[in-house]
Structure 1
Amino acid sequence: MKRSQKFLIIFLVLTAVFSAVTAAVSAFELERVRKNTNSAVVQIIENVKEKYTEVSERELAAILNGRSENPQTESSLKKYGIDLDSDWAVYKNDGTSNFIIIANSIICAVSCLALTAVFLKYCKSQKAEAERLAGYLRKINRRNYDLELKANSEDEMSQLQSEIYKTTVMLREQADNSQKDKENLKQSLSDISHQLKTPLTSIMVMLDNIIEDENMPDDIRRDFLNDIRHSSNGISFLVQSILTLSKLDANSIVLKSKTENVKKILDECVKNTEVLAEIKGVETSVGCDDSLTLSCDFKWLCEAITNIVKNCIEHTIEGGFVKLKAEKTSLCTKITVTDNECGIAKEDLPHIFERFYKGRNSDENSVGIGLALAKTIIEKSGGSIYADSEQGKGTKFTVTLFDINNGQ
């Protein structure tokens, strides 16, 4: 129950109690007035009957229940100190009436004081609670988020306290996340700088050689230009991947799900990597039912699977293979990409999806961002990815996607 409701109930109860006490006192004293008056009337009737026997009881009753219209009778009573305009005809009733007035006045005064005390106590408690909450807010403004506000009731202040606690937790999480974001940004900038430094330095050296040596043989010049193009493509891939990851992190890329043919997706991934597979001498194959479908974003799922296939090809020796398979269960669709490379070390396996991470067997041209990008896209699609590897036998990547429209 809210504190204001409790205060209102207490106020009403006290008011009812004081009203009942006042009514009881008044009723008790009025009963005394009735008895005094009746006693006086009985004495008068007895005296009248004793002295005036000719007056009947009916006449006396009519006189008692009627009203005197004779002003001489009323004025004659003033001789005996009785003023009917301001006094009681029966003296005992005068004291009783004064007692009723005084008692009612005292009860009303006590009632007002009691209600005032209750109200002041309520205001004082509210003020103390408000000051306490204001103190917490000042601490929050000083970035002190280590506060615990636990509401013990359901009144307005407790609800406000609960909301302040929620806000404090939210601000603390935002502060922690902000600090983590700063650290991640610092690390990312360091990694990007490191990844760009080598190819840019190589490009600058080769360009200087080309510019300074006018008599450079054409075949060497051609090799330099090919190396520059290769380094430029690597830089372009790195920049595009970083931009894509940033957009995915910022939720500025909307994944639109619709029913797509899974074999068509896998064939597209093989097509995207066929040049690299030919250069490396790696065979790629697809095993999938032609009728298998999946609710997904065709473009972005192809981007994710292509990065996985590309990683497998890069780490497979000449004459090796990379196999893509897909199967549907009652709950999900599983896509696997398997190679027969040398495998991933156990120490590296938990980190292969981290950005800019390069394992012991990574190619010197690898930037360590392809698998991180694939993982981000798959998770944005409502799926999951994990890798299982054994050194000397190969690696198997398993992508699990639930066939639902995730609404992204």
Structure 2
Amino acid sequence: MRSREAKKFLLGLLLAEAGFTAAAALLFGAGTALLVALCSGTCLTMAVRFCIRRAQEIDQLSEYLASVYAGGEILDIRTQREGELNALRDDIYKITTILGQQKAALEADKRLLADFLGDVAHQLKTPIAAILLQTELWEDKAVPACEKDQCACNVAQAAERMSWLVEQLLKLCRLDAAVVRFEQKPNDALDLLRSAAQSVRPLCAGRGVTVEWTGQQVSCLCDRAWTLEALTNLAKNAAEHTKRGGKVTLSCEGNALYTEMTVENDGPPISQEEFPHLFQRFWRGKNAAPGSVGIGLALAKAIAQGQGGTVRAENGIRGPRFTLRFYAGDEAVTVLSLGSHPEAVF
């Protein structure tokens, strides 16, 4: 036994036994002293065995903790027996289990961070390479002045793309870190759809796609700026997956529990293989538009979840359909107009 306290305890018992035996011999004779010695010896033996067993169990717990500290497997060391040491086993198991979960979460975060940085580097590599190439052409004296002007335009476009990408990544980082303070107030859902449609109007016009909005004029409890960001990303994604001559439709409806805003387009249906990956950042589907980064849907999901809402994707009758749902919370959804707003077509 390595415990100094246990050794002192056993030494005290041994001295007490010797004292009782000597006192019995002096007061009651040799026979009584022998009986006292036998009883004391039995008690001492039991105490020694108990201390040894307790010391062994403590050593086992120490070895187990050392193994866990070194990265070993977390075992279930709990028992059904009662006692202080068994209560300690239960507490150790609880603590090690929590630490194991925290370790797994940290390792997962580390892997996600590594993947995220790799994806960011990959996305920035293309515009940086374009800027370097255009700079070399600009410095080449043999390049005509008209081509140098085009080089300047190309550099500006690449820089603008980098600026946009960095801005989107910063938004994602703020949402992931839960530092965004959403100011959830009643907003006119139809007005949000109109603003989102106007934001993607140039993109739709360039692709020969029609965009419209329709639905009930209902109140939606949300942060206007961030929700508009999510809607615009969904509408942009829909426009990029719609063929020339197609249509993107934004609609809304609400009840006493929630408000839904839907973005639907005439594009090809989403395959079953793509559904699990739709909202993963930097993921691009087989029908993704050239130059697509793959963070718009991920950003829309983060914005919805940050406000206690949801976003879902499904294949509708016309084509892919994405729906944002925001719950009423303490304030019920207010129906501002029972009739439908006339369709607004750009």
Q: Normalized against structure 2, the TM-score is what?
A: 0.75
396, 403, 408: which one pairs with 2:321? Answer: 396
Task: Determine the structure 1 residue equivalent to 2:258.
Answer: 332
Aligned ranges for residues 33-48 of structure 1 at < 5 Å? none
Q: Percent identity?
A: 29
Correspondence 1:210-359 to 2 at 5 A: 210-213=138-141, 216-218=144-146, 220-290=147-217, 292-359=218-285
Indicate if the aligned counterparts of 1:282 and 1:318 stay in contact, CA closer than 8 A. yes
Is residue 361 of structure 1 aligned with residue 296 of structure 2? no
When the two chains are superposed, the root-mean-square deviation of aligned CA atoms in Å is: 3.3
Which residue identity does 1:262 align to in structure 2?
Answer: A
1:404, distance to aligned residue in structure 2 (A): 1.8
CA distance in 1, matches of 2:101, 2:48: 40
Residue 207 of structure 2 contacts residue 244 of structure 2 at CA under 8 Å; is this kept in 1?
Answer: yes
Counterparts in 2 of 1:405 and 1:157: CA distance versus 1, 3 Å: farther
Structure 2's unaligned 5+ residue stretches are: 1-26, 332-346
CA contact (8 A) 1:304 1:377 kept: yes
Amino acid at match of 2:200: T
Match among 76, 80, 93 for residue 148 of structure 1: 76
- Inter-partner Cα distance in structure 2 for 1:133 and 1:270: 65
Q: Which residue does the alignment assign to 2:23?
A: none
Contact map agreement 1:145 1:168 (CA 8 A) in 2? no
Deviation at 1:166, TM superposition (A): 2.1
For residue 21 of structure 1, what is the aligned residue in structure 2? none
Residue 99 of structure 2 corresponds to which residue in structure 1? 171
More strand by percentage: 2
* CA distance, structure 2, for counterparts of residue 113 and residue 350 of structure 1: 72
CA distance in structure 2 between the aligned counterparts of 1:245 and 1:336, rounded to whole angstroms: 22
Deviation at 1:123, TM superposition (A): 4.9
- Structure with the higher helix share, 1 or 2: 1
For 2:327 and 2:39, the matched residues in 1 are separated by 71
Letter in 1 for 2:67: K
Rg: which structure is higher?
1
After TM superposition, give the deviation of residue 112 of structure 1 in Å. 7.5
Separation (CA, whole Å) in 2 of partners of 1:159 and 1:252: 40
Residue of structure 2 equivalent to 1:29: none
Q: 1:215 to 1:142 in 2, by over 3 A?
A: closer
**1:189 maps to which residue?**
117
C-alpha distance in structure 1 between counterparts of 2:87 and 2:44, whole Å: 26
**CA distance in structure 1 between the aligned counterparts of 2:53 and 2:251, rounded to whole angstroms:** 70
Q: How much has 1:258 moved relative to structure 2?
A: 3.0
Instruction: Work out the CA distance in 2 between the residues paired with 1:151 and 1:256.
Output: 51
CA distance in 2, matches of 1:263, 1:355: 28
Matches within 5 A, 1:121-132: 123-132=51-60
> Which gives a bigger RCO, structure 1 or 2 (Cα 8 Å, sep 6+)?
2
Deviation at 1:301, TM superposition (A): 1.8
Contact 1:145 1:172 in 2 (8 A): no
- 1:322–1:340 CA contact under 8 A, matched in 2: yes
Q: Is there any run of 5+ residues in structure 1 with no aligned partner, and where? A: 1-97
Take 1:261 and 1:241, find their aligned partners in 2: how far apart are those partners?
25
In 2, distance between residues paired with 1:139 and 1:215? 68
Q: Deviation per CA, 1:278-309: give whole Å up to 9, x if none.
A: 3333322222322x223222222222221111
| 1:159 alignment partner in structure 2 | 87
2:35 and 2:199 mapped to 1: Cα distance?
Answer: 95
For the residue of structure 1 that corresponds to 2:294, the secondary structure is coil
How far apart are the structure 2 equivalents of 1:278 and 1:239? 26
Cα 1:145–1:265 change in 2 (3 A) is: farther
Query: Shift of residue 354 of structure 1?
Result: 1.1
- 1:367 partner SS: coil
**1:179–1:282 distance in 2 versus 1, CA, 3 Å:** same
Contact 2:250 2:261 in 1 (8 A): yes
How big is the shift at 1:242? 1.7
- The one-letter code matched in structure 2 to 1:400 is R
Provide the C-alpha distance between the structure 2 equivalents of 1:229 and 1:188, rounded to a whole number of angstroms.
Answer: 26
Answer with 224-233 or 240-249: which moved more.
Answer: 224-233
Residues 1:269 and 1:212: Cα distance change in structure 2 (over 3 Å):
same
Distance 2:180 2:55 in 1: 50
Given residue 159 of structure 2, which amino acid in structure 1 is its aligned partner? S
Among 346, 362, 379, the residue aligned to 2:305: 379
1:202 Cα offset (Å):
1.6
Letter in 1 for 2:190: K
- Give me the whole-angstrom Cα distance separating, in 2, the residues matched to 1:259 and 1:151: 55
